A = this chain, B = another copy of it.
Amino acid sequence: MPKEGNCVVAQSGGPTAVINASLLGVIEEAMKQHPIRAIYGAKNGIIGLIDEELYDLRMEDPEELKLLKTTPSSALGSCRYQLKPFEHDEKDYIKIFNVFEAHNIRYFFYIGGNDSMDTADKLTRYAQKIGYDICIIGIPKTIDNDLVMTDHCPGFGSAAKYIATSVMEIARDAVVYPTNIVTIIEVMGRNAGWLAAASALASKDIGAPDLIYLPEVPFSIDKFLDDVRNIHKKTGKITIVVSEGIKDKEGKYIADMSHKFGIDAFGHVQLGGAAFVLENIIREEVEKRVKSIQFNVLQRSAAHIMSKTDVEEAYMVGRMAVRYAVEGACGYMVAIKRDSDNPYSSSTELVELNKVANAEKLVPLAWISHDGNYVKEDALNYIQPLIEGEVEVKYERGLPRYAKLRKIMVPKKVV
């Protein structure tokens, strides 16, 4: 028999364009499931549970809630807080379970990346240890697409669509003058090059990018200069995409090489990362007309160009998390299973949290060109369906109308 009680949902890690679609999925499904009474949102992820800062989501205007589906960034706030193992330090756990008990929380849904799955796993094991009856389910989210045990992660498709579109637009801008120009675009991805790989989808437009470098392959400046010079001989207009996390064969981040330019003597100056370093190398060695562009947080927050596939899947994993929980599942993450490529279709399945926590899915080396400077068709076939479909964003007076929540606090009982 399903547990009766209240539920909490929380968001963690870097925001995405669709993390609120998962939140909406949880809220809407929880409203339908009668065993679930109150629906709370924890402010700033797990921190809101520790500090007993909970929003009463049933108090929200239903029209504003609906807008969550197309609203970027984490509406409940986020955190990057890591729980210590409870075997070493129980303090946070005691606080959290006091809050769970005081508010009769029997369901906890945590939307996040692998750190969050680790947190959800620890809480699940702690609950078993102290015999507290609660269902904890993880909901995947990350633009980096680096979670294991799931075909892909909600958030990735929209970021990939933004990146491919923007690379197209930048490349079209770059070719208008009858002069040479090298453009180096840096995208997110510290260890996994999925977002850089996605930029290859842009090539169907006017051929850009020419070169793509992923963190999965050791980066050699000499090889890079050879690659650029080879293209430079044929055309003076070159577009390059690099992951922020490219590293040399010793594992040193290229972004950390700015001392080569005599800059690290001034410790207070923050530089631009890998693309900035490569821009300066190209300027000196190949072509004076060179610029670097960073998409920065826009690649994860540009809800105005979301992938419909991504939004619908983000919403689906949110809904399914609640359904699985009410059916009694506990200690799992809701993963996405690719059922078919053409036409694309997907469904969900449960995977154990501890298999997802602290693991990382990289781009298979077999999907990267032998030269290490592009991706193969296999990578494109995998990414293609995830960026498809356009979402009708609500506009008001020329700008997207994103959700504005009332955020009514639940009276504290513990702290």
Report 14 cross-chain contacts, Cβ distance below 8 Å, ordered by A residue: A73-B173, A77-B177, A164-B399, A170-B296, A201-B398, A202-B399, A204-B397, A261-B269, A268-B283, A291-B296, A304-B305, A384-B397, A384-B398, A388-B397
Known: A398-B389, A399-B165, A399-B205. A78 touches B176 (CB 8 A): yes
> A390 within 8 Å of B by Cβ?
yes
Q: Mark A65-105, 1 if CB is under 8 A from B, else 0.
A: 00000011110011110000000000000000000000000
> A270 within 8 Å of B by Cβ?
yes
Shortest distance between the CB of A291 and any CB in chain B (Å): 7
> A174 within 8 Å of B by Cβ?
yes
Q: CB within 8 A of A399: which of B201, B296, B304?
A: B201
- Specify which chain B residues have a CB less than 8 angstroms from the CB of A388 in the assembled complex: 397-398
- Specify which chain B residues have a CB less than 8 angstroms from the CB of A11 in the assembled complex: 176
How far does the alpha carbon of A384 sit from the alpha carbon of B397 in the complex, in Å? 8
Known: A384-B397, A399-B161. A284 touches B268 (CB 8 A): yes
Q: Mark A279-303, 1 if CB is under 8 A from B, else 0.
A: 1100110000001011011101111
Question: Is the Cβ of B47 less than 8 Å from the Cβ of A178?
Answer: yes
Shortest distance between the CB of A397 and any CB in chain B (Å): 6
Task: Give how many A residues have a beta carbon under 8 Å from the other chain's beta carbons.
Answer: 69
Which residues of A are interface residues toward B (Cβ below 8 A)? Answer: 11, 15, 44, 47, 71-74, 77-80, 161, 164-166, 168-170, 172-178, 201-202, 204-206, 261-263, 265-266, 268-270, 272, 279-280, 283-284, 291, 293-294, 296-298, 300-305, 307, 384, 387-390, 395, 397-400, 402, 404
- Specify which chain B residues have a CB less than 8 angstroms from the CB of A266 in the assembled complex: 261-263
- Specify which chain B residues have a CB less than 8 angstroms from the CB of A298 in the assembled complex: 166, 169-170, 293
- Specify which chain B residues have a CB less than 8 angstroms from the CB of A72 in the assembled complex: 169, 172-173
How far does the alpha carbon of A390 sit from the alpha carbon of B393 in the complex, in Å? 10
Q: Which chain B residue shows the least CB distance to A201?
A: B399
How far does the alpha carbon of A388 sit from the alpha carbon of B398 in the complex, in Å? 4
How far does the alpha carbon of A395 sit from the alpha carbon of B279 in the complex, in Å? 32
How far does the alpha carbon of A243 sit from the alpha carbon of B44 in the complex, in Å? 33
- Specify which chain B residues have a CB less than 8 angstroms from the CB of A173 in the assembled complex: 15, 72-73, 297, 300-301
7 further A-B pairs in the complex, CB-CB below 8 A; given A170-B301, A174-B297, A261-B269: A79-B177, A172-B402, A261-B268, A263-B269, A270-B280, A272-B272, A293-B294
Question: Is the Cβ of A302 less than 8 Å from the Cβ of B398?
Answer: no
How far does the alpha carbon of A300 sit from the alpha carbon of B293 in the complex, in Å? 14
- Specify which chain B residues have a CB less than 8 angstroms from the CB of A261 in the assembled complex: 266, 268-269
